[in-house]
Structure 1
Amino acid sequence: MTLVELIGRADERSLAASAVACLDRCLPLLEYVEGAGRIGLDTDEALRPLWVAVEGGDAWLGQLRRVAAVVQRVAGAAPGELAPFAIRMAAAVPAAYHGPELRDWAEDCSAAVLEVHLRLDGVATGNDEARVKAYRNGETDGISPLTAGELRRQAQLLEMLAEGSGGGGLNHALQLSNEGKRVLRAAASRRARSRG
């Protein structure tokens, strides 16, 4: 099943968790911003409380919007072309915990984080959106290794959430997302070193 199909079939809880996971995996991009700690963004802990009660509601969305506002402030001071992807995901947090809005957000976060991986993989930019759209629809010829890993993690996370019940599914999804976060952090660190 393609990533687009998995998101199309996902329930509200799975959509919310998938989108939060995408945003969470991109937070290491902000570790190079001077003063991020003073602003109050712990890239490992900022979104962790949201995993506990991902079933949603107004209180959950309010907490998410507060964290997203901090992400946008920090990312606004970040160097390079990758931070705008974090801003894009944080700015798109839906106003309501409702299927269509959550699906739009999950779709956008999925595409954004895949494009980040494309850039970190050193793939020449230009036509990135079309390439990501093709990957999400199952056309993966020529996909770069880092991006292939992220595509696989996104699909596995949605499958886990669809199959799992209660906290067990969420815990496994969180572990998988943390693995992706470590991969992205390492890739971002290598990129920063190579650029001096």
Structure 2
Amino acid sequence: MPSKSLRDLIAQADERGLAASGLACLDRCLPLLASEADVLRPLWAGLVDGEEDWSGRLAEARQTMEGAAVDDEAAALVRQMLGAAPSEWEADPLREWADDCSVAALELHHRFDAGPGGDEPAAADVVDVLKRCREGEPDRAGPLVAGELRRQIQILEILADAEGGVGLRQALDVSTEGQRVLRAVVSRRARVQR
């Protein structure tokens, strides 16, 4: 069990940590927009310089993603996550975005999660489970949600402890691992539905 909840970590993160946290959540959900796997790489690279490159690289990523095919509600939510990113490099808007991305990523992973017993919980139960996860009580989360929660926490902890590019490289590695997991789940579900 982590010493701090996900919500605590988001509340204490600096601008770079918040931008990277939101970006990582979005990055892990990109398999839902299959053709856009590398659209966020320039944004990741720009995080090393922080404020200097953020706004311009964000505009480029949005423009690239505008052409992405949006086949369902999940894909539309991924695109909205990028659209909601603040252009200004300031703690409050970045914190709000990182928090929203955290919730959206957990919700998207829940949609692909069979749940502990294979039963689909009611919407109110989903909200409760995700809220409890973010507050440090993941006991009722399915395996995909639990994995996503673990990655969100790990990335914020890495960025709080590491300096500059080293921490960002480690955060990107964690995010890439999560992206592979979701891509495999999406691919498996697509094969089953054929």
**TM-score, with length taken from structure 2:** 0.87
How many residues are treated as equivalent by the alignment? 184
**Conserved? CA contact 2:22–2:102, under 8 Å:** yes
Q: What SS class does the counterpart of residue 73 from structure 2 fall into? A: coil
CA separation in 2, counterparts of 1:160 and 1:95?
24
**Conserved? CA contact 1:25–1:178, under 8 Å:** yes
**Conserved? CA contact 2:54–2:87, under 8 Å:** no
CA separation in 2, counterparts of 1:80 and 1:171?
31
Q: Is the counterpart of residue 5 in structure 1 residue 3 in structure 2?
A: no
1:64 aligns with 58
Q: 1:129 to 1:68 in 2, by over 3 A?
A: farther
1:53 aligns with 46
**Conserved? CA contact 2:58–2:87, under 8 Å:** no
**Conserved? CA contact 1:58–1:96, under 8 Å:** no
2:107 aligns with 115
The range that moved more, 95-104 or 128-137, is 128-137
CA separation in 2, counterparts of 1:82 and 1:135?
21
1:93 aligns with 85
The one-letter code matched in structure 2 to 1:91 is G
1:126 aligns with 123
Post-superposition Cα deviations, 1:94-132, rounded to whole Å, max 9, x if no partner, equal 131100000000000011011111001135262333332
User: What is the root-mean-square deviation in Å for CA atoms of aligned residues?
Assistant: 1.7
CA separation in 2, counterparts of 1:164 and 1:147?
26
State the percentage of identical aligned residues. Answer: 47
2:153 aligns with 155
Q: What SS class does the counterpart of residue 29 from structure 2 fall into? A: helix
The one-letter code matched in structure 1 to 2:150 is R
**Conserved? CA contact 1:65–1:93, under 8 Å:** no
**TM-score, with length taken from structure 1:** 0.87
Unaligned runs of 5+ in 1: none
CA separation in 2, counterparts of 1:50 and 1:112?
20
